[in-house]
Amino acid sequence: MAITLKQKHRVQTIGQNDQAKSCNLSYHDFIELHSDFIREKQLENLSPRTINDHIMLFGYFVKWLKSTHWFGTDQGIQKALFLDYKEYMMDDKKYAPCTINIRLRPIKAYITWLFSSKHISINYNNFIKLVKVSDNRMQPLSKTEIRKLLDSIGTETYARFRDLALSIMILDCGIRTTEALTLTIHDINFKDSFIIVQTSK
């Protein structure tokens, strides 16, 4: 019997659905495989802070997952799960868009790894969009404001002089406060006047 174009498309669709179903992860496997993902990221020499962020933020997702009806089913990972998590953060928790995006990005990175490693046959990142953030950018300080800031610190004591040096470095380099506080004497090149930031984003 000849197969029409319409029938042929149906046969292909059924085959694709069967393949997607066979590659669909259970919730247990989805959680367990995250340790393999973390191991690979460690071998890529990601900073300990980034690794810890991946673990912590994924933990928030797992905690939510285990409190929902999803965890008690055998349907496996599907797109609606991630949309529900996003909706939970937006509507139930009322998180700011930046916070939601911070929590979604590690999940998206993990999904990318699962897909490239062929643990899943559907790239769910196609359905997980970051939340739009309003473009309310902060204006930089003017020269007058910077001078007032530095003058208010002063140099009368060691603590004030230390804070002044730290403030000038932050203003000059754009370095984060936490990054500056992790610097050691070995990160400073006095001869050529530059610093090496070991734990920079």
> Mind listing the pLDDT tens digit for each residue in 75-130?
789 999 999 999 999 999 999 999 999 999 999 999 999 999 999 999 999 999 99
Per-residue pLDDT tens digits for 149-184: 999 999 999 999 999 999 998 898 888 888 888 888
Question: Cα–Cα distance between 37 and 117 in angstroms, integer?
Answer: 10
What confidence category does residue 41 fall into, taking pLDDT thresholds of 50, 70 and 90? very high
Question: Cα–Cα distance between 30 and 181 in angstroms, integer?
Answer: 37
> Could you tell me the two tokens for 155?
């140099």
Question: Cα–Cα distance between 105 and 111 in angstroms, integer?
Answer: 10
Question: Cα–Cα distance between 129 and 65 in angstroms, integer?
Answer: 19
> Could you tell me the two tokens for 130?
């970051």
In the chain, what are the domain boundaries?
20-126, 143-195
> Could you tell me the two tokens for 52?
């810890």
Question: Cα–Cα distance between 130 and 133 in angstroms, integer?
Answer: 9
Rounded (10°) angle between helices 48-66 and 97-116 = 100
Closest CA to 111 of 66, 143, 78, 67: 78
